[in-house]
Structure 1
Amino acid sequence: MNPIQEKIAVITDDKEPPANRISRWLVLPALRPSLKLCPSTPITLNQGDRVIIAQDQGAAAHTLAAQLETYGVTPLILDPAQTAVTLANQLQTWLADGRIRGLYWLPALDEEPAFNNISLADWRELRRVRLVSLQTVMPALEGTDVFLVAATRLGGLLGSGDSGAINPLGGAVAGFIKAYRQAHDDRLVKVVDFEVDPKMEHLTGTLLAETLIDPGVTEVGYWRGQRFTPAFAAQPAASHKPGVALNRQTVFLVAGAAAEFSREVVAGLAAIQEEPASEDVVDLALATGSGTFYLLDTLPPEDTAVQHLIQAIEKAGGDAIYQQVDLTDDTAVTVALQKINGRLDVLIHADGQPDSLFNLLQASREMPVSVVMAFNGADGRFGNAQHPAASADQALISALVSQMRQERSETRGLVIDWLERDSDQTVAIVQRELINGQAQGEILTGGQAQARIQAGDERITLEKAPARQRLVQVNAPLLVELTTAGIYSGLHGRAAIQPEKLALTPAHSYLPWGIGLEALAEMALTTAPDYHVAVLENARFAAPIPLADDQTLAAELRTAVFPALGHSLLAHSQLRSQTDAPHLTAQARLVARPITGRPQIQFAPPASDEMVIDPAVFYTQTTAVPPWQFIEQAHVVGDQIVARLRQSLPPALLTEAMIYSPALLEFALQAADLWQFYRHGKAVRPSAFQSATIFRQPAELTGRPLFAIVRPLGNGRAFDVQIVDENAYLFGIVTGYQNRKLS
């Protein structure tokens, strides 16, 4: 596949496999507004209050105690390593002396031993101190109104970042906290995650600040000086990087294989029929059946369910080796895995127990393993008030898999959170993730995933004065208000677009797309005001945004921001106007330093007498007249078109206050649409583009001409557009632009 074909393949989905259309939400850390923008919690710390601090083995508990004493609060130090009976007795004594205001749970701040150097018994003891003691303490405090703030040291992103989880037992604490919050939504319940080595005063000061500010978030982490919370990003599974080849040579290990759901998945994987690469006999053999399956479970081999599974694998042409094993017994698991010779392509953990996953990872650490895939429900991700133990276990499983990025970077770790297990889709989803070489991390899938995410998107109203100051700080001319922040949907705001200031008249029926993109860029920048918009990516133009005469257009904006390559951020933004679905979506890449330099290309501007294409017919024939008609003339050069920008632009578009030059973006899109009209007689409108980069603003032209060079890809299926001045200096680039025929 040549570079042009690859570019077209990325932005078209004509041949997309059906499994790729099944919902796929990747768990990623999303930027949370700074505490300055967030409202206060109901909690106050007053003279005479008493607060329990479950101590760590470092200095955090004593530092926090000293800070609480400055409020007049009496700290009560609790040792979480004590037995359950001793803990309960201590709590009863304290409760008999008066009201307990809150609890800080700090043992998950302690560093865990290297995973390869810890025994199952020691690991269970660490879990007892961090989690089981917490599960003992909270029922003893039931009936009180205590707040609960736990601290973890998973790395600052609660294990959802690219670097994976550090100290994964903190994941169990986070899972329990989410379940407890579900059961006590009238209280302040939080888990605060930190990087490996934060300054102690900052750590404890942050715990106090999170106690007093932002009641809307349950999980929050501090990473590189910013606040993050786990959220979701819809991501397609398409990848040009191959993953596991599912064929006769594939070796699977399935723990918990005899459960009904596991049997369904395994039988489906065994029966997968791949398309052979040719008619060669070897290829046909590889396409029949799918590999060798090592099956582990507690049921005896003669059990009917086990026998049916073995028969299904063998009928499909695969090999089945079943072992009856107590998966929570580390010695038994080690013995079972010694029977596997050589590599292991896929290790599937479907047992649901953290101990069994711990044992499998320990026993396989000397084996080359391509993929570890764990099956979870949604309890670990969202919390379940009725099943807090399941929430803790599932969150711990996710953290153990995430930790593999630290311990076993050569192995892809995948966790699938199943909302619903549809028998028609489960095998397709598992296959999709295995063959996608870029798939890793935690993935939410199954029916009604988007509805579940929206239902959990608790929103807070931002503090008005700091929010107004933020708009002043970023100089966003189209935005008028930052309103709320959602857990998953990110920052919400409003734009007020006044047509007369943009030289739009009642004759114009819809908003220029360039203005919509400018609004998205401004909204993205409000989330990280010290950054700069480098590129707009993956823009999707849905329905045109209607204008009503000369009335101000009110638009709603949302942006959720995730860490990206290097130190950049990626803001997933959308614009709506009185509709449930967004009119426009795009991703803004934010960088710490602005793009500098003046890129130059090979280009000689055509002479005026060569600009023979008059765009007047193009502008009059289209059924949706562009509000701005920017093309003055155009010229054909081979299969390309060179268009010249009109000299007289609306003054509002020449101001440097605009962040991302809507005039240049609109000019580029119109030039590509002109190519379609000139070549094929099609009246079109924008559909999508891969990226748009603006290097310079049109205000820098000072009367010089500007040109758009349109290069078609795949005979007009997509376009690259370069905007240059007469000296061939680049002002902007749009890549992978697609348009669609007007209906």
Structure 2
Amino acid sequence: ATLEKVIGFVYEMRPDLGNQKVAAEPEAVSETAVDTPPSTPDAGSFDAVTAKVLEIVAKQTGYPPDMLELDLDLEADLGIDTVKQAETFAAIRSEFDIPRRDDLALRDYTTLEKVIGFVYEMRPDLKVDGVMGEVAGVVPAPTRITPSSLENANRVPRRMPVAVLRPALAWCKPTGVTLGADSRVLVALDQGGVGKAVISRLEKRGATVLALDVARPTAELVTQVTAWRHAGAIQGVYWLAALDAEPDLMELDLAAWRELNRQRSKNLYATMRALYDVVNQPGTFLVTATRLGGQHGYGAAGAAAPLGGAVVGFAKAYKRERPDVLVKAVDFELSRKTAVFADALLAETETDPGAVEVGYVGEQRVAIGLQERPLPDTPALTLDEHTVFVVTGAAGGITSAIVADLAAASGGIFYLLDLVAVPTRHDAQVQLFRSDKEALKQQLIAAAKAAGERPTPALIEKQLLAIERTEAALRAIEAVEAAGGTAHYHSVNLLDGEAVTAVIADIRTRYGKIDALVHAGGLEISRSLDKKEAREFDLVFDVKADGFFNLLRAAHDLPIAATVVFSSVAGRFGNNGQTDYSAANDLLCKVTSSLR
């Protein structure tokens, strides 16, 4: 955690450097000469290392190189999860002949800029005259473009989740979980009787069962679970709250929406956090049940009870954090009977450790896989100057770039929503950020010192990030206007239902429709479940979940041609330290599925 330890690491990895004499101090080199700017220039202006890294990342992810801006966050902005990051690092090590480091922490290399820095750190001989190649950072103003062809769109791999047949349990191996007289099991009850049937079967095997009422206040629930944990080891949890029927989304108000999510997913978070050091080893389990339709919402009919998506997303992330635990998310059709549910859940607990997402459709047992499928040639939304876009998270780097592309293709009307304040056209710090980021950093350091503050890197980076988001918001506005479109920027907290409703009311009055509702708002804070406090879980979850609900609820009487939500590989596969992010993203996927 100190520079001294970092220097010690260098000598540990390169002991041959320990005997070298220190050379005379070189002449000062301008710091801007080694700074890697945030924009994406032409490939020809990259140094060889940067160009090769971008080529590798493009191959690993399927993203074209011109989307790989060096300062974008790999996970939050580009959607490259830790699994894909590990694959990318392996390819980079192979390309540059870098030895494997067992202590390598992917969380230390969150941007392409840092990944490139890693290459130079491990291979300083690749620098040209000791200096990394300078990259020009001029971003051309957008011009009106013709929307891309279907053929070009299909050059990017399009991987779709699909239900695939899974062998019957009779053909599968045991999970290593045994339910019997030594078992102490927590069952979170549903209202339809499945939980009671599960309890009856467990008690017939001699197990001790704690029945948990998820409607109780969360604090009381945690107290109950904690007391039961202290009374003896808990083998596992059946979480059945998401089996209950759900009202139509448009029949809910914000308070009812939040209460349903509290019972189904936030109380799951609270329970598993209380049991984090107990349900953590082979022989322990977390089995959730949902009623999305048997195919986890990936069938033609879409998701039947979409709030269960958050439960599934949480379960997948918990499996990433606790790989030794048996974790399953079992999905059922609406018409299944109570006894069938209970028997299937116990059987899934003891058999087939090879799949997390499992479903039952008729007599078939399915899991969820991925298939590459081209974009279908169906009638598309016409983009022109009359197209009305609503975009949340408009101050995000990748969102701002997408707005620029949409504006250039349409010259349309854009409602840009973000928590960032309305940007000032000629903000001095924004202009300096664009022209000389390093000079801005030095200015912030000087200002902190003048104010008597300690200018730590964390403090300066926080200030830079705020300016960067303001710049991105302004860039989105400028891109719309440069394309001949109309930009309406609103500083809005997506958790404020009344504020969101006011924006939609303005759209209703002016235009009477929404052609494309793009929900890109969100944030990610990676932290293991035991260290993730409730306020943090709620913030990450609510911005995505409540934000989308508030938009849909406010626009319920408006024609909406298309909705687009930004999810993540964390939502599809789960991710270590991202139970909240995974839960929220999978919820968005299932809500979107239910809108078919």
TM over 0.5: yes
- Provide, for residues 630-658 of structure 1, a one-character-per-residue CA deviation record: whole Å limited to 9, x for no partner: xxxxxxxxxxxxxxxxxxxxxxxxxxxxx
* Residue of 336, 348, 368 corresponding to 1:230: 368
Q: Which has the higher strand share?
A: 1
- Give the 3-state SS of the residue equivalent to 1:21 in structure 2: coil
Asked if structure 1 preserves the Cα contact closer than 8 Å seen for 2:420 and 2:491, the reply is yes
Q: Distance in 2 between matches of 1:214 and 1:166?
A: 26
Deviation per CA, 1:323-346, whole angstroms, max 9, x where unpaired? Answer: 222211111111111112222211
The equivalent residue for 1:323 is 490
1:198 to 336, 341, 357: 336
1:166 maps to a residue whose letter is A
1:357 aligns with 2:555: no
Match of 1:343 among 502, 510, 513: 513
5+ long unaligned stretches in structure 2: 1-148, 424-469, 523-543
Cα deviation for residue 150 of structure 1 reads 0.8
Is 1:266 the counterpart of 2:403 in the alignment?
Answer: yes
Report the counterpart of residue 300 of structure 2 in structure 1: 162
Displaced runs of 4 or more, over 3 A: none
Question: Is the contact made by 2:396 and 2:473 (CA closer than 8 Å) also made in structure 1?
Answer: no
Question: Would you say 1:93 and 2:227 are equivalent positions?
Answer: yes
Q: Kindly report which structure 2 residues correspond to 1:641-652, keeping only aligned pairs within 5 A, or say none.
A: none
**Could you report, residue by residue, the CA deviation over 1:585-627 in whole angstroms, capped at 9, with x for unpaired residues?**
xxxxxxxxxxxxxxxxxxxxxxxxxxxxxxxxxxxxxxxxxxx
SS in structure 1 opposite 2:177? coil
Is the partner of 2:214 in helix, strand or coil?
Answer: coil
Q: Decide which of 393, 401, 404 is 1:256's aligned counterpart.
A: 393
Could you state the TM-score of these two structures normalised by the residue count of structure 1?
0.49
Structure 2 residue 594 is the aligned partner of structure 1 residue 403: yes
Q: Is the 8 A contact 1:179 1:387 kept in 2?
A: yes
1:11 is matched with which residue? none
Question: Which of 345, 367, 382 is the equivalent residue of 1:245?
Answer: 382
Residue 661 of structure 1: aligned partner: none
AA aligned to 1:314 is E
Q: Which amino acid aligns with 2:307?
A: L
1:467-616 correspondence to structure 2 within 5 Å: none
One-letter amino acid of the counterpart of residue 293, structure 1:
F
1:123 equivalenced with 2:257 (yes/no): yes
Partner of 1:211: 349
Equivalent in the alignment of 1:300: 421
SS in 2 for 1:208: helix
User: Which secondary structure state, in structure 2, belongs to the residue aligned with residue 381 of structure 1?
Assistant: helix
RMSD, aligned CA = 1.6
Q: Distance in 2 between matches of 1:29 and 1:120?
A: 32
Residue 388 of structure 1: CA displacement?
1.1
2:561 pairs with 1:394: no
What amino acid maps onto 1:372 in structure 2?
T
SS at match of 2:548: helix
Please report how far the alpha carbon of residue 18 of structure 1 lies from its aligned counterpart in structure 2 after TM superposition.
2.5
Deviation of 1:96 (Å): 3.0
- Partner Cα separation in structure 2 for residue 99 and residue 315 of structure 1: 64
Within 5 Å, give how 1:36-47 maps onto structure 2: 36-47=170-181
Q: Report the equivalent of 2:45.
A: none
Counterpart of 1:18 in structure 2 is: 152
Counterpart AA for 1:163: A
Give the alignment of 1:623-702 within 5 angstroms. none
Deviations 1:302-360 (A, max 9, x none): 35433332121111111111222221111111111111222221111101311110111
Tell me, in whole angstroms, the C-alpha distance in 2 between the residues paired with 1:360 and 1:192.
30
Aligned counterparts of 1:92 and 1:395: Cα–Cα separation in 2? 28
- Give the 3-state SS of the residue equivalent to 2:566 in structure 1: strand
> Contact conserved, 2:240 with 2:289, CA < 8 A, in 1?
yes
Whole-angstrom distance in 1 between the partners of 2:301 and 2:552: 18
Given that 1:20 and 1:238 are in contact with CA atoms closer than 8 Å, whether structure 2 keeps it comes out as no
What secondary structure is seen at the aligned counterpart in 1 of 2:588? Answer: helix
Per-residue CA deviations over 1:485-521 (Å, capped at 9, x if unaligned) read xxxxxxxxxxxxxxxxxxxxxxxxxxxxxxxxxxxxx
Relative to structure 1, the CA distance from residue 319 to residue 65 in structure 2 (aligned partners, 3 Å threshold; closer, same or farther) is same
Question: What amino acid maps onto 2:485 in structure 1?
Answer: G
Change (3 A) 1:300 1:29: same
| Residue 182 (structure 1) aligned with residue 320 (structure 2) | yes
Identity of aligned residues (%): 43
Q: Which residue of structure 1 aligns with residue 478 of structure 2?
A: 311
Work out whether 1:81 is the aligned partner of 2:215: yes
1:367 is aligned with what amino acid?
L
Counterparts in 2 of 1:242 and 1:211: CA distance versus 1, 3 Å: same
CA distance in 2, matches of 1:390, 1:94: 29
Following the alignment from structure 1 to structure 2, what is the Cα–Cα distance between the partners of residues 113 and 128?
Answer: 15
Instruction: Give SS of 1:80's match.
Output: coil
SS of the aligned residue for 1:64 comes to helix
Contact 1:155/1:195 (CA < 8 Å) preserved in 2? yes
- Local SS of the residue matching 2:340: helix
What whole-Å deviation, never above 9, does each CA across 1:79-133 have from its counterpart, x for those lacking one? 2222333223222322233222211111111111221111111111111111111
Mapped partners of 1:84, 1:337: distance in 2: 33
Radius of gyration: which is bigger?
Answer: 1
Please tell me whether residue 139 in structure 1 is matched to residue 281 in structure 2: no
Cα distance between partner residues in 2 of 1:238 and 1:174 = 28
Q: In the alignment, residue 30 of structure 1 is paired with which amino acid? A: V
Does the 8 Å contact 2:180/2:202 carry over to 1?
no
Distance 2:514 2:199 in 1: 50
Kept in 1, the 8 Å contact 2:186–2:210? The answer is: yes
Contact 1:54/1:107 (<8 A) preserved: yes
Contact 2:159–2:370 (CA under 8 A) maintained in structure 1: yes
Deviations 1:23-62 (A, max 9, x none): 1111221221111221111011122422111111221111
Tell me the SS of whatever aligns to 1:222.
Answer: strand
SS of structure 1 residue aligned to 2:517: strand
The one-letter code sitting in structure 2 at the alignment partner of 1:368 is: P
AA in 2 matched with 1:310 = I
Q: Which amino acid aligns with 2:411?
A: S
The answer for unaligned runs of 5 or more in structure 1 is: 1-14, 273-288, 406-743
Change (3 A) 1:16 1:264: closer
Counting matched residue pairs gives 374
Counterparts of 1:392 and 1:51, CA distance in 2: 24
